[in-house]
Homo-oligomer: A and B are copies of this chain.
Amino acid sequence: MPDPSDDGRRIVEAADRLFYGRGIQAVGMDLVRAEAGVPLKRIYARFPSKEALVEAVMRHRMGIWDAGIAAAAASATTPRERLLAIYDFLDDWFRDDGFRGCGFINAFGELGAVSPAVAHLAQEQKASFQAYVAELVDRLGAAPSLAAQLSLLAEGAQTTAAIGGTPDAARHAREAATVLIDAALPARV
């Protein structure tokens, strides 16, 4: 009855919940097994090691992030609105009960120094986000350095909201973003 091809997804989603909520090293494979409701053997049949599972979870999280950003941008039409939608997306996310900061920043802080794979995946996610921002900034007709600045605001908001428990970091980031965008655009007539 249970679709065997679902195994991978169930395992990854369970591991993601646990890794994100408690930290990667704080979660044993046995806990993943219990949360996924799947025998340990099947986990190891699909993922040869915990590290491989961690990488799969990070790739999974990349998809979630991209989907969230895309959904937030969907209702916007202009590049400027799409850029600001990023901070609205963050605002919603920061108010989630389980919010514990950016999973990639957390994973990098925990394992980046000892696991090149984790470091590389975190870097990949950040580069992908920066590329997304850069493309919108380009369409906006502003200089590329604006993209770097707007990305910094988003990153800073995530850590600030996580550590301080202050979701209004998103609002501050959005306000700063509007100022930076307006300053970077050629003066309106």
Q: Is the CB of B180 within 8 A of A126?
A: no
Binds B, one of A28-36, A49-57, A149-157: A149-157
In the complex, chain A residues 8-26 whose Cβ is within 8 Å of any chain B Cβ: 21-23, 25-26
Size of the chain A interface, CB-CB below 8 angstroms: 51
Bound: A180/B173 CA distance, A: 11
**Cβ of A152 and Cβ of B153 under 8 Å apart?**
yes
Give the CA-CA distance A175 to B148 in the complex, in Å: 10
**Cross-interface CB contact of A160 among B100, B106, B152, cutoff 8 Å:** B152
10 inter-chain pairs at a CB distance below 8 angstroms, sorted by A residue, are A22-B114, A25-B110, A100-B112, A102-B159, A119-B163, A126-B163, A127-B164, A152-B160, A152-B169, A152-B173
In the bound assembly, the distance between CA atoms of A115 and B23 in angstroms comes to 11
Pick the residue among B101, B145, B160, B164 that contacts A175 (CB under 8 A): B145
A179 to B145, CA, bound (A): 12
Distance of A29 Cα from B110 Cα, bound (Å): 17
Chain A interface (Cβ < 8 Å from any Cβ of B): 21-23, 25-26, 100-102, 104-114, 119, 122-123, 126-127, 130, 145, 148-149, 151-160, 162-165, 168-169, 172-173, 175-176, 179-180, 183
Q: Which residue from chain B places its CB closest to the CB of A105 in the assembled complex?
A: B159
A47 to B115, CA, bound (A): 29
Question: Given A23-B109, A114-B23, are A172 and B160 also a contact pair (CB < 8 Å)?
Answer: no
Which residues on B sit within 8 Å (CB–CB) of A104? 163
Give CA–CA (A108, B108) in the complex, Å.
Answer: 11
Contact assessment for A101 and B110 in the assembled complex, using a CB-CB cutoff below 8 Å: no
Residue of B nearest to A110 (CB): B110
Minimum distance in angstroms from A130 CB to a CB of chain B: 8
When distances are taken between beta carbons in the complex, the residues of chain B under 8 Å from A127 are 164
Contacts of A114 in B (CB 8 A): 22-23, 26
